[in-house]
Amino acid sequence: MSYSLKAGGKRIRPLLLLATLKGYNKPFELGYSVACAIEMIHTYSLIHDDLPAMDDDDLRRGKATNHKVFGEAMAILAGDGLLTYSFNIISSLADVDAETKIKLIQNISEAAGPEGMVGGQVADMEGEGKPLSVEELQGIHHHKTGDLLAVSVKAGAILSGASDNEIELLGTFAKHLGIAFQIKDDILDVVGDEEALGKPVGSDEENDKSTYPSILGMDKAKEKLAYHLEEAKKSLYKVEIDHTLLKEIVEYIGNRSN
């Protein structure tokens, strides 16, 4: 558990939660435990995603994958341990009332479970090797990666005592951000592969996996990225909070290079 948690990563989910707290002028400390719990859920999903039964990857976050170091059985258990313990952490929060804790657990378990990330992973596996429309691809990623990103923002709002309407609006903000995150990920994959092969960027759009650049082409994928970043900002501005840090994360997602 510790090996994969400490392997690095962008920590984008914790950052989203803390930036939302900042938007409500709440101290970062209020969100540390829930931010860690969400990062633990994310880390579990990566450990399981890398297993031979799923993506069968050797490297994650620049290091050997969990099962390569500790074996498959221990990697499955490390993931199980991270997932279960995350909810123990949230339910044990000392300075948060019971109603807020239940709301956090409901939202986070929905985002991570069969109607969220797990369901998205199932849809992704079922879609493997089939040509997908952009709507189908978006549906998969909305759940597989978008739901956990969205609940990171929502959890910050819940901890801040935001109204249901604000939580909903921030959810829409995060939904666009999640789609933008995935499009950027797909673009970076193509650019990285082409640079590694010494090809001009944009020349290698054909791949066996459906991605935004493979379905839409690189130019349209970039247009779609810009559209969702813009829509994310529009939704964000509808909520009357300090937007500074969340806006910086939007810019970071658009400009990131890894």
For ligand GRG, the closer of residues 145 and 160 by Cβ is 145
For ligand GRG, the closer of residues 234 and 256 by Cβ is 256
Query: Considering the rule CB under 6 A, would residue 184 count as an interface residue with ligand GRG?
Result: no
The single-letter code of the amino acid at 39 is: E
Residue from 185, 204, 205, 231 in contact with ligand GRG (CB under 6 A): 185
The C-alpha atoms of residue 175 and residue 166 are separated, in whole angstroms, by 14
Query: Considering the rule CB under 6 A, would residue 61 count as an interface residue with ligand GRG?
Result: yes
Query: Considering the rule CB under 6 A, would residue 139 count as an interface residue with ligand GRG?
Result: no
The C-alpha atoms of residue 98 and residue 70 are separated, in whole angstroms, by 37
C-beta of 53: minimal distance to ligand GRG in Å? 10
For ligand GRG, the closer of residues 61 and 238 by Cβ is 61
Three-class SS of 37-66:
HHHHHHHHHHHHHCCCCCCCCCEECCEECH
The C-alpha atoms of residue 235 and residue 86 are separated, in whole angstroms, by 29
Query: Considering the rule CB under 6 A, would residue 86 count as an interface residue with ligand GRG?
Result: no
For ligand GRG, the closer of residues 83 and 241 by Cβ is 83
Residue from 33, 145, 160, 172 in contact with ligand GRG (CB under 6 A): 145
The C-alpha atoms of residue 82 and residue 47 are separated, in whole angstroms, by 10
C-beta of 37: minimal distance to ligand GRG in Å? 15
User: How far out from the chain centre does Cα 236 lie?
Assistant: 18
Say if CB 38 and CB 108 are below 8 A apart: yes
> Binding to ligand GRG (CB under 6 A): which residues in 1-40?
9-10, 12
For ligand GRG, the closer of residues 4 and 172 by Cβ is 4
The candidate with the shortest Cα–Cα distance to 153, out of 227, 52, 246, 250, is 246
The C-alpha atoms of residue 177 and residue 181 are separated, in whole angstroms, by 6
Other CB atoms within 10 Å distance of the CB of residue 100: 15
60 has which bridge partners? 63
Query: Considering the rule CB under 6 A, would residue 121 count as an interface residue with ligand GRG?
Result: yes
For ligand GRG, the closer of residues 179 and 241 by Cβ is 179
For ligand GRG, the closer of residues 141 and 241 by Cβ is 141
Say if CB 21 and CB 159 are below 8 A apart: yes
Residue from 1, 31, 34, 48 in contact with ligand GRG (CB under 6 A): 48
Which spans of this chain sit near ligand GRG (rule: CB under 6 A)? 9-10, 12, 42, 45-46, 48-49, 61, 117-118, 121, 144-145, 182, 185
